[in-house]
């Protein structure tokens, strides 16, 4: 096969694979509880859909500027100032086909062959794959369950080398739900400034922070912090628009221009009418209520899932502070099966409950449950998991 070296490592996203497996079994009529999906179970708000339909009817169906329509970049610039206290001009914002493409553009833009990227672990599955696709080397920074999987500057230091180019921050984190406290985040950013390390701040879960916590963007800390940071976000989770594929990256103009140029030579632009839907999500006063409702719903589900999982013997568990995932340690149950992949298969076949194996996130022995399902489904699913695990031991 004439495959390039660049793609020789690539694997399909296991999270999407599990979702596909769940849908396939459900379509066959299997009664399965799916904790796999990394997307809200809320429908996209009607006012967003209507704005998109209006755009279609008004003929907004042609190429847009490769960085995205100006109205959307202006609205994002206002949002970043108002909610994140960072000043980015519209020319420093590039609208992309989801946050995934934003991340890919960043790695393409800054990585040289052999550059190292610090990746706190457990990490979201896509980071290492994209880093390698762009010629970089992911350098895993293991985080401890005992410390709630929260990153500290001391975790990073031993992994820095002459080739360290970037650090990936993802707080709230997929898959652990961990949130880095502002004080520690400041120390991490200071360290990166002093050591010439660029930062990606993946803020996809900024809307989902619990226990009254407030979200902070690293780029807001100082002028120097803003200079080294790529702020990434999307409409996917906040407005339940995963299929629309609209995300964005904000970064100093020298980077933004190149990223828009890559867009122009690859996808051209994020889908025109989807951008108008995204614009409505930022502009419509009803959006705040929608996001608030979703956040409260997830917070209640988090509390329920946490409480129920704790009732399973020999499990250990960190209480997530954000996002919509919970990441129990089931290593006590691996014995007979040997791996978390086998454990997940067992839970699907015996328990009729599906989650994602921790090894996909660099954490063997754990499983990720997404609580983007109703409270009744959480109760039933965790009951099944508990029973299947009891039968195993």
Please report, as ranges, the residues that interact with ligand PMP according to CB under 6 A: 38, 98-100, 124, 170, 174, 202, 204, 234, 236, 242, 247
Q: Where are the beta strands (DSSP E) in the chain?
A: 33-34, 93-96, 116-121, 137-142, 164-169, 198-202, 229-234, 247-250, 325-326, 353-354, 356-357, 367-370
Residue 37 CB, nearest approach to ligand PMP (Å): 10
For 201, residues 6+ apart whose C-beta sits below 8 A from its C-beta are: 169, 217, 218, 219, 229, 230, 231, 232
Cα angle for residues 189, 174, 214 (degrees, 5° grid): 55
Nearer to ligand PMP, 231 or 236 (CB): 236
Residue 350 CB, nearest approach to ligand PMP (Å): 27
Residue 248 CB, nearest approach to ligand PMP (Å): 9
Nearer to ligand PMP, 249 or 343 (CB): 249
Contact 263, 93 (CB under 8 A): no
How far is it, in rounded angstroms, from Cα 367 to Cα 360? Answer: 9
Using CB positions, name the residue nearest to ligand PMP. 98
CB-CB neighbours of 16 under 10 Å: 15
Q: Distance between alpha carbon 84 and the CA centroid of its chain, in Å?
A: 18
Residue 28 CB, nearest approach to ligand PMP (Å): 26
Residue 126 CB, nearest approach to ligand PMP (Å): 7
Cα angle for residues 188, 194, 200 (degrees, 5° grid): 50
Nearer to ligand PMP, 12 or 114 (CB): 12
Q: Where are the beta strands (DSSP E) in 251-327?
A: 325-326
Residue 245 CB, nearest approach to ligand PMP (Å): 7
C-alpha distances out from residue 91 to 45, 291, 389, Å: 28, 27, 53
Nearer to ligand PMP, 222 or 242 (CB): 242
Nearer to ligand PMP, 64 or 236 (CB): 236
How far is it, in rounded angstroms, from Cα 68 to Cα 262? Answer: 13
Residue 267 CB, nearest approach to ligand PMP (Å): 13
The encoded tokens of residue 204 equal 């996809």
How far is it, in rounded angstroms, from Cα 251 to Cα 233? Answer: 12
Identify the three-state secondary structure at position 261: helix
Residue 384 CB, nearest approach to ligand PMP (Å): 25
Residue 242 CB, nearest approach to ligand PMP (Å): 5
DSSP for 339-384, please give it. Answer: SHHHHHHHIIIII-EE-EEGGGGT-TTBEEEE--S-HHHHHHHHHH
Nearer to ligand PMP, 64 or 96 (CB): 96
How far is it, in rounded angstroms, from Cα 339 to Cα 332? Answer: 11
How far is it, in rounded angstroms, from Cα 63 to Cα 182? Answer: 40
Residue 376 CB, nearest approach to ligand PMP (Å): 25
Nearer to ligand PMP, 242 or 268 (CB): 242
């Amino acid at each position: 096969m004439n495959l390039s070296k660049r793609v020789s490592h690539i694997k399909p996203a296991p999270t999407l694979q599990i979702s596909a497996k769940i849908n396939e079994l459900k379509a066959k009529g299997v009664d399965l509880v799916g904790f796999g999906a990394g997307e809200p179970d809320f429908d996209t708000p009607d006012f967003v859909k209507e704005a998109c339909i209006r755009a279609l009817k008004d003929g907004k169906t042609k190429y847009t500027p490769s960085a995205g329509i100006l109205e959307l970049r202006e609205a994002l610039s206002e949002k970043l100032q108002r909610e994140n206290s960072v000043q980015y001009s519209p020319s420093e914002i590039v609208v992309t086909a989801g946050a995934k493409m934003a991340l890919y553009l960043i790695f393409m833009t800054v990585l040289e062959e052999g550059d190292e990227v610090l990746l706190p672990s457990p990490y979201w599955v896509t980071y290492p794959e994209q880093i390698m696709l762009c010629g970089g080397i992911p350098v895993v920074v293991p985080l401890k369950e005992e410390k709630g999987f929260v990153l500290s500057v001391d975790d990073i230091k031993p992994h820095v080398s002459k080739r360290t180019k970037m650090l990936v921050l993802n707080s709230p984190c997929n898959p652990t739900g961990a949130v880095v406290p502002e004080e520690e985040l400041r120390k991490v950013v200071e360290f990166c400034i002093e050591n010439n390390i660029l930062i990606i701040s993946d803020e996809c879960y900024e809307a989902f922070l619990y226990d009254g916590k407030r979200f902070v963007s690293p780029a807001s800390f100082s002028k120097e912090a803003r200079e080294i940071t790529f702020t990434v976000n999307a409409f996917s989770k906040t407005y339940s628009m995963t299929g629309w594929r609209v995300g964005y990256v904000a970064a100093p103009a020298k980077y933004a221009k190149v990223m828009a140029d890559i867009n122009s030579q690859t996808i051209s632009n994020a889908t025109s009418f989807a951008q108008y839907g995204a614009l409505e999500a930022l502009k419509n006063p009803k959006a705040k209520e929608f996001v608030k409702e979703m956040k409260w719903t997830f917070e209640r589900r988090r509390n329920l899932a946490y409480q129920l999982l704790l009732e399973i013997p020999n499990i250990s568990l960190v209480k997530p502070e954000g996002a919509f995932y919970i990441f129990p340690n089931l290593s006590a149950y691996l014995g007979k099966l040997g791996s978390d992949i086998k454990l997940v298969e067992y839970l699907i076949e015996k328990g009729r409950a599906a989650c994602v194996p921790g090894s996909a996130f660099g954490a063997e022995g754990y499983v990720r449950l997404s609580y983007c399902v109703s409270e009744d489904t959480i109760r039933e699913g965790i009951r099944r998991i508990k029973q299947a695990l009891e039968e195993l031991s």
